[in-house]
Amino acid sequence: MMEGVILQKIKHLRNLKRIKIMSTIEIFKSEQDTDTDADMQEYKKNLFRHRLKNACIGAGIFAAVVLCCVVFWIVLKNQSFDMYEVIRSFDRTDTMTTQYAEFKDYVLKYSRDGISCVDSTNRAVWSQTYNMQNPILHVCRNSAAVAEESGTEAMIFDETGLQGTIQTRLPIRQIAVSSQGVLAVLMEDGDVMRVNLYDKAGGELVSSKFELQDVGYPIRISLSADATKLAVSFLQVRDGSINSCLAFYNFSSVGEGKEDHLVASKIIDGIVMPEVAYMDSTHCFALGGGQLLIYEGSQIPELTAEVELEKEVLSVFHSEKLIGLVLEGEEEDYVLQVYDLQGHMQFGTEFSLDYQTLKFSGSQILIYNESECIMMSSNGKIFYSGTFDEPVVNLYTMSGRRRYIVMHVSRTDQIRLK
pLDDT digits (tens, 9 = 90+) for 272-311: 999 999 999 999 999 999 999 999 999 999 999 999 999 9
Has residue 176 got a pLDDT over 50?
yes
Give the total number of structural domains in the chain. 1
**Considering the entire predicted model, what is its pTM?**
0.82
In this structure, are residues 336 and 346 in contact, taking their beta carbons and an 8 Å threshold? no
Please indicate, yes or no, if residue 111 is contained in any of the structural domains: no
pLDDT in tens, 345-368: 999 999 999 999 999 998 899 999
How high is the pLDDT of residue 352?
Answer: 94
Has residue 20 got a pLDDT over 60?
no
Please indicate, yes or no, if residue 45 is contained in any of the structural domains: yes
Residue 18 confidence class, pLDDT cut points 50, 70, 90: low
Has residue 21 got a pLDDT over 70?
no
Q: How many residues does the chain have?
A: 418
Please indicate, yes or no, if residue 186 is contained in any of the structural domains: no
Has residue 34 got a pLDDT over 60?
no
User: Residue 362 CB: number of other CB atoms within 10 A?
Assistant: 16
How high is the pLDDT of residue 42?
Answer: 72
Please indicate, yes or no, if residue 364 is contained in any of the structural domains: no
**Least confident residue range of 74-88, 98-112, 329-343:** 74-88
Please indicate, yes or no, if residue 62 is contained in any of the structural domains: yes
Structural domain boundaries enclosing 45: 39-77
In this structure, are residues 403 and 416 in contact, taking their beta carbons and an 8 Å threshold? yes
Please indicate, yes or no, if residue 96 is contained in any of the structural domains: no
Has residue 47 got a pLDDT over 80?
no
Please indicate, yes or no, if residue 54 is contained in any of the structural domains: yes
Average pLDDT for the chain = 88
How high is the pLDDT of residue 145?
Answer: 98
Q: What is the DSSP string of 31-57?
A: HHHHHHHHHHHHHHHHHHHHHHHHHHH
DSSP annotation of 301 reads -
**Least confident residue range of 12-21, 60-69, 249-258:** 12-21
Please indicate, yes or no, if residue 63 is contained in any of the structural domains: yes
In this structure, are residues 149 and 136 in contact, taking their beta carbons and an 8 Å threshold? yes
